[in-house]
Chain A
Amino acid sequence: EIVMTQSPATLSVSPGERATLSCRASQSVSNNLAWYQQKRGQAPRLLIYGVSTRATGIPVRFSGSGSGTEFTLTISSLQSEDFAVYYCQQYNNWPPLTFGGGTKVEIK
């Protein structure tokens, strides 16, 4: 099973600032990596797939990068609606699909 590790667990950022979230895989997942956003009390929402492709309707301030075992989600200028928990997920080697533990982006 591929273990996904996200850091930091919590990220405190001021509105308008840049946020950088990390995700590491225990072995290479190639480019089979997705990111999700989950707001309190809501279902997860797909943000990015294939490392860097934004899902339909996702603003350009969200971008993904990386390859192999190291990946990054960047939010270029945080808006109030971006404060949420973010999860990475690998789909290169499954079952099982595996998720990271999440990074909570909170208001500084």
Chain B
Amino acid sequence: QVQLGESGGGVVQPGGSLRLSCAVSGFTFSNYGMHWVRQAPGKGLEWVAVIWYDGSNKYYADSVQGRFTISRDNSKNTLYLHMYSLRAEDTAVYYCARDAYNPPGSYLDDWDQGTLVTVSS
């Protein structure tokens, strides 16, 4: 059974940093590309970033380019999102999600429960 468990959310001041982690089990993590998707309170879904199964390629939404870094540790079956220079508009529930294809670039067939990041002074 596929499981994705996220951690690291919380309250951070504007300009601050935070790291989210997404630990996975139930599938061969190193075979799949992974995404981060976020959802601001009461809003829709916004794609944030993707990383290839082996970490060789990474892409970001324009809204986070240069401030967020996606990474992974396949030996630990864990996906990360390092967030820097956080802004109020980054406040959202952040989801990690598995891409159905390899290489990635398709639909997202498994999602974690999400973690809330609040940027506020």
Which of A's residues lie within 8 Å of B, judged by CB?
32, 34, 36, 42-46, 49, 55, 87, 89, 91, 94-102
Contacts and interface: CB of A to CB of B under 8 A. Distances in A.
- Chain B interface residue count: which class? 20 to 34
Interface string B91-114: 000010000100001111111111
B88 interface: no
Contact of B107 (A43, A91, A95, A102): A91
A95 B61 contact: yes
15 contacts: A34-B108, A36-B45, A36-B108, A42-B113, A43-B111, A46-B107, A49-B109, A55-B109, A95-B60, A96-B59, A96-B61, A97-B105, A99-B46, A99-B47, A102-B45
B103 to A, nearest CB: 12
Nearest to A32: B106
Nearest to A6: B44
Contacts of B112: 43
A88 to B, nearest CB: 10
Nearest to B58: A95
